[in-house]
C-alpha cells in the first residue's frame, strides 16, 4: 500500500480516484491493497506474484544486456569529454565527479542515458555500493544534476538490481575496459594510418547464407580494403551490392570488399533476413559479400552521415578517404592499384552542421546587387526545385543538383516537350564529353547547380531566361526544336534469337569505361535504348511499346569500337539496328560561340 500510494515518486501523484477507490492518495482497494483484505485469496496472490516475477526478471535481463552492449560506445564518449576511468580496486567515482561540467557537456550526458552511465560506474567495482556509500550518493547527485532527479532516483533502483543480480558478470573483464587499446581512438583523416589496435581486433564476418567467419582485421592488410556502409533502409545501398561484387570478382586477391552495418542503423538479424528473403523471392539473389553487424568501431573511425558511403584503406594501411559508391569503378580502382594516386576518387566530405543542408546558397550574397552562377554538383546538399523565393524585397532562384539533361529540359521546355532522349540530334561541332553528360543519369559528374540572386523582385519567366543564358555560357551549347528528315537507326528485337531477354536477377547497370565487362542486367528497354543512343552517332527509333527487360554482357573494349563494330556486337544479342530516315520533330543541340552568348 505504501508503494502504490505514490510516496516513492520524486513528483508526487495527483489525487485521482475511481469509484472503487477511497479518496486517499489514489489507492485502489482492488489493487495492491486488495491483497490485504479479508478473506485473502491465496491463489490469486500466488499467480500474480509468479507472473510479475517472471516478467520482471525477463525485463531486467533485457535491460542488463542492452546496457552492457552500450558500454563501449559510452566509455569512448567519456574519454572524449576528458574523464578518466581508473581500473583495479580504485573507485572511478571521485574522478568522474570531480571535473567541473559545462552546460554543453551536461546536455550531451542526457543523450546517452543514465542507465549506461551508472552501469559503467559500477562495472568497475562490484562492491562499490557496499564499501563506498558516500561515493555512490555523490555520484547520484552528479547524475541527477545532468539528467534530472526523477531519472536519478529510478537509476538508483536499477543500480541495486544490477549489482545484486549480476555481480559475477560485472567482475568479468569486458571489451569496453580499454584493455584492447580501442578506448582512446578518434576519427581518422585522409592519410592517417590505421591504428595497430584496430588491425589486431577480431572481425566477425557474417554471410547472407547464414555462415559466419571470424578473422583478424590484420589478415586483410596488403589489400585495397573497401568498407561499404549500408542499411536495410537504404534501397540504393542494396542495389549497389551487385556492383561491388563485380569489383570483388574482378580484382580478387588485390581488393577486399566488406559491407558494414552500423549499430546506429538498429538493423536486427530478423530485419536483415526479412529484407533479403524478399530479394531471394523476387530476384533469386543472395549477396555473397560478407558484412559486419552492430558496428561501432568503423563507424567512429570513418564518420559519415549519408548512405551509401565507401571508406577506402590502401594496401599500406592508410585511410584514403570516404567516397561515393558511384566513384568506385573498375577503371579507377585499376588505376589506383597501378599508380597509388587517389585523385580520381571523389571525396565524400561531411557537413559539420546538418541544419545548413539545403539552406545555404551557392554564393554569399551579402553586399551583392546581382549574381548568376553555374557550378557542378554540391556534395551533401539536397536537390532544390527551380522556383523564385522572395525575401525582404530580394529574389533568389536556384536549380539544385539536377542532371544536365533535366537542366536543358527546364531551360528549353518548348524544345523537349513530348520528345524522347533517343531522338536527340547533335551538331557535329559538339564534343563527345557534352553528349556523355547529357546521357549521364548515374554519377554526380552529370549533376549541376545554378543560383540567381537579385536585390529586387523578379518574375519566374525572367529567372528562367537567366538560367538558360548561364547554361549556354557554361557549355556553349543551345537547343531548339526542328522538324524535318534526319538520318537515324531503327531498333528492333529479333524474337528468333532472344539472347537479350532477361533471366531475372538484381538490377545491374555497370557500363563504365575500363570495366572488364559492360553488364546490363534486368534493365528496362528504355534504359538500354538511351545507352545505345549515347554510343552511336545518330538518333534511335523504336516505335513499339514494350515492357521488356534486357540482359547484356559486352566486352570491356566495347566503347572503344567503331560504330559499325558496336552495331555488329549488339546484333549478336538479337538487338538489330537498321539505318533509316526519321521524318518529324526532334530536339536539336547546336554549338554557340562565346561572342554570341554575350
Q: In 195-315, which ranges are E strands?
A: 202-206, 212-216, 224-230, 255-262, 291-295, 309-313
Summarize pLDDT for 76-104 with one digit per residue, the tens.
555 555 544 443 333 333 333 333 334 34
pLDDT at 138 over 60: no
C-alpha dihedral over 50, 56, 61, 67, to 10 degrees? 180
C-alpha dihedral over 216, 220, 225, 226, to 10 degrees? -50
Q: Give the residue among 291, 292, 288 at the shortest CA–CA distance from 245.
A: 288
**Residue 95 near residue 83 (C-beta atoms within 8 A):** yes
pLDDT at 562 over 70: yes
pLDDT at 581: 96
**Residue 293 near residue 267 (C-beta atoms within 8 A):** yes
Summarize pLDDT for 395-432 with one digit per residue, the tens.
999 999 999 999 999 999 999 999 999 999 999 999 99
Buried b / exposed e along 239-267 (16+ C-beta atoms within 10 A): ebbbbbbbbeebbeeebbbbbbbbbebeb
Rounded to the nearest 5°, which phi and psi values hold at 317? 90, 20
Q: How remote is the C-alpha of 365 from its chain's centroid?
A: 32
Summarize pLDDT for 446-487 with one digit per residue, the tens.
999 999 999 999 999 999 999 999 999 999 999 999 999 999
Q: Rounded distance, CA 542 to CA 563, Å?
A: 19
Per residue, the 3-state secondary structure of 38-89, as one string, reads CCCCHHHHHHHHHHHHHHHHHHHHHHHHHHHHCHHHHHHHHHHHCCCCCCCC
Q: Rounded distance, CA 280 to CA 274, Å?
A: 10
**Residue 454 near residue 575 (C-beta atoms within 8 A):** no
- Residues 10-35 have a mean pLDDT of 38
Summarize pLDDT for 355-411 with one digit per residue, the tens.
444 446 788 888 899 999 999 988 778 788 899 999 989 999 999 999 999 999 999
Across 166-175, 315-324, 444-453, least confident range: 166-175
Q: What angle do CA 174, 176, 180 make, to 5 degrees?
A: 85
pLDDT at 23: 40
pLDDT at 159 over 60: no
Question: Residue 495: which residues within 8 A CB-CB, separation 6 or more?
Answer: 574
pLDDT at 225 over 90: yes
Summarize pLDDT for 486-511 with one digit per residue, the tens.
999 999 998 887 778 898 899 999 99
Q: Rounded distance, CA 228 to CA 309, Å?
A: 6
Give the Å distances, CA to CA, from 92 to 68, 157, 163, 494, 563. 18, 20, 16, 77, 75
The helix (run of H) or strand (run of E) holding residue 19 is none
pLDDT at 215: 96
pLDDT at 489: 97
pLDDT at 72 over 70: no
Q: Is 177 exposed, middle or buried (0-12, 13-18, 19+ CB in 10 A)?
A: middle
Q: What angle do CA 345, 349, 351 make, to 5 degrees?
A: 165
Peptide bond into 39 cis (omega under 30): yes
pLDDT at 443: 82
- Residues 527-550 have a mean pLDDT of 90
Q: Pairing mode, if any, of strands 291-295 and 477-493?
A: unpaired
pLDDT at 14: 38
pLDDT at 597: 53
Bridge partners, residue 312, by sequence = 226, 321
Question: Residue 91: which residues within 8 A CB-CB, separation 6 or more?
Answer: 124, 125, 128, 132, 135
pLDDT at 167: 37
pLDDT at 255: 97
Higher-pLDDT residue of 545, 60: 545
Higher-pLDDT residue of 446, 52: 446
pLDDT band at 350 (very low <50, low <70, confident <90, very high): low
Give the Å distances, CA to CA, from 165 to 19, 65, 115, 439. 40, 12, 15, 65
pLDDT at 381: 80
pLDDT band at 232 (very low <50, low <70, confident <90, very high): very high
Eight-state DSSP code of residue 318: B
Q: Strand order in 447-454's β-sheet? A: 370-376, 447-454, 394-403, 384-391
pLDDT band at 173 (very low <50, low <70, confident <90, very high): very low
Per residue, the 3-state secondary structure of 87-111, as one string, reads CCCCCCHHHHHHCCCCHHHHHHHHH
- Residues 565-576 have a mean pLDDT of 93
Higher-pLDDT residue of 26, 412: 412
pLDDT band at 352 (very low <50, low <70, confident <90, very high): very low
DSSP string, 178-208: STTS-TT-----TTPBPPHHHHTSEEEEE-T
φ/ψ region of 348 (left if φ > 0, alpha if ψ in -120 to 50, else beta) reads beta
pLDDT at 243 over 90: yes
Rounded to the nearest 5°, which phi and psi values hold at 245? -65, -35
**Residue 491 near residue 542 (C-beta atoms within 8 A):** yes
pLDDT at 150 over 90: no
Summarize pLDDT for 248-297 with one digit per residue, the tens.
999 999 999 999 999 999 999 999 999 999 999 999 999 999 999 999 99
Please name the residue that has the C-alpha cell 520524486.
10
Question: What rounded mean pLDDT belongs to the chain?
Answer: 77
Eight-state DSSP code of residue 10: S
Quote the pTM value.
0.64
Amino acid at each position: 500500500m505504501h508503494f502504490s500510494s505514490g510516496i516513492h515518486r520524486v513528483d508526487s501523484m495527483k489525487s485521482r480516484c475511481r469509484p472503487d477507490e477511497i479518496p486517499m492518495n489514489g489507492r485502489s482497494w482492488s489493487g495492491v491493497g486488495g491483497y490485504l483484505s479479508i478473506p485473502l485469496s491465496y491463489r490469486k496472490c500466488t499467480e500474480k506474484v509468479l507472473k510479475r516475477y517472471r516478467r520482471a526478471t525477463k525485463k531486467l535481463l533485457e535491460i542488463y544486456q542492452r546496457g552492457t552492449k552500450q558500454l563501449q560506445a559510452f566509455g569512448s564518449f567519456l574519454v572524449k569529454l576528458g574523464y578518466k576511468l581508473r581500473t583495479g580496486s580504485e573507485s572511478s567515482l571521485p574522478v568522474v565527479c570531480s571535473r567541473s561540467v559545462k552546460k554543453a557537456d551536461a546536455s550531451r550526458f542526457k543523450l546517452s542515458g543514465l542507465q549506461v552511465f551508472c552501469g559503467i560506474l559500477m562495472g568497475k567495482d562490484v562492491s562499490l555500493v557496499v564499501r563506498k556509500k558516500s561515493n555512490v550518493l555523490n555520484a547520484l547527485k552528479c547524475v541527477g544534476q545532468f539528467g534530472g532527479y526523477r531519472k536519478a532516483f529510478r537509476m538508483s533502483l536499477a543500480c541495486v538490481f544490477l549489482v545484486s543480480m549480476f555481480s559475477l558478470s560485472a567482475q568479468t573483464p569486458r571489451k569496453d575496459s580499454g584493455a584492447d587499446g580501442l578506448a582512446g581512438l578518434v576519427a581518422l583523416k585522409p592519410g592517417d594510418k590505421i591504428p595497430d589496435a584496430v588491425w589486431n581486433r577480431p572481425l566477425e564476418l557474417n554471410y547472407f547464407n547464414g555462415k559466419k567467419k571470424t578473422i583478424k582485421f590484420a589478415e586483410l592488410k596488403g589489400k585495397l580494403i573497401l568498407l561499404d556502409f549500408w542499411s536495410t533502409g537504404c534501397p540504393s545501398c542494396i542495389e549497389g551490392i551487385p556492383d561491388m561484387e563485380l569489383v570483388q570478382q574482378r580484382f580478387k586477391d588485390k581488393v577486399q570488399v566488406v559491407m558494414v552495418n552500423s549499430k546506429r542503423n538498429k538493423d536486427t538479424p530478423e530485419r536483415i533476413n526479412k529484407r533479403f528473403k524478399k530479394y531471394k523471392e523476387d530476384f533469386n539473389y543472395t549477396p555473397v559479400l560478407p558484412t559486419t553487424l552492430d558496428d561501432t568501431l568503423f563507424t567512429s573511425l570513418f564518420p559519415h552521415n549519408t548512405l551509401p558511403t565507401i571508406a577506402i584503406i590502401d594496401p599500406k594501411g592508410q585511410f584514403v578517404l570516404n567516397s561515393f559508391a558511384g566513384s568506385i569503378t573498375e577503371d579507377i580502382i585499376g588505376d589506383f592499384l597501378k599508380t597509388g594516386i587517389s585523385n580520381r576518387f571523389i571525396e565524400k566530405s561531411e557537413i559539420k552542421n546538418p541544419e545548413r543542408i539545403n539552406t545555404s546558397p551557392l554564393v554569399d550574397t551579402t553586399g551583392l546587387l546581382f549574381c548568376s552562377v553555374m557550378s557542378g554538383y554540391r556534395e551533401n546538399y539536397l536537390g532544390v526545385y527551380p522556383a523564385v523565393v522572395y525575401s525582404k524585397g530580394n529574389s533568389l532562384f536556384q536549380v539544385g543538383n539536377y542532371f544536365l539533361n533535366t537542366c536543358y529540359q527546364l531551360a528549353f521546355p518548348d524544345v523537349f516537350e513530348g520528345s524522347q532522349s533517343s531522338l536527340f540530334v547533335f551538331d557535329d561541332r559538339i564534343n563527345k564529353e557534352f553528349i556523355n553528360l547529357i546521357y549521364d543519369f548515374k554519377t554526380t559528374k552529370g549533376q549541376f547547380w545554378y543560383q540567381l540572386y537579385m536585390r529586387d523582385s523578379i518574375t519566374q519567366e525572367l529567372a528562367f531566361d537567366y538560367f538558360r543564358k548561364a547554361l549556354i555560357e557554361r557549355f556553349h551549347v543551345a537547343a531548339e526544336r526542328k522538324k524535318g528528315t534526319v538520318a537515324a537507326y531503327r531498333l528492333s528485337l529479333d524474337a528468333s534469337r532472344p539472347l537479350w531477354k532477361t533471366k531475372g536477377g538484381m538490377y545491374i547497370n555497370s557500363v563504365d569505361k575500363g570495366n572488364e565487362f559492360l553488364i546490363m542486367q534486368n534493365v528496362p528497354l528504355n534504359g538500354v535504348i538511351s545507352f545505345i543512343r549515347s554510343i552511336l552517332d545518330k538518333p534511335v527509333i523504336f516505335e513499339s511499346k514494350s515492357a521488356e527487360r534486357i540482359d547484356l554482357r559486352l566486352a570491356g573494349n566495347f566503347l572503344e569500337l567503331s560504330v559499325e563494330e558496336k552495331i555488329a556486337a549488339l546484333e549478336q544479342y538479337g538487338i538489330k539496328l537498321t539505318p533509316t530516315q526519321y521524318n518529324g520533330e526532334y530536339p536539336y543541340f547546336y554549338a554557340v560561340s562565346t561572342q554570341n552568348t554575350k
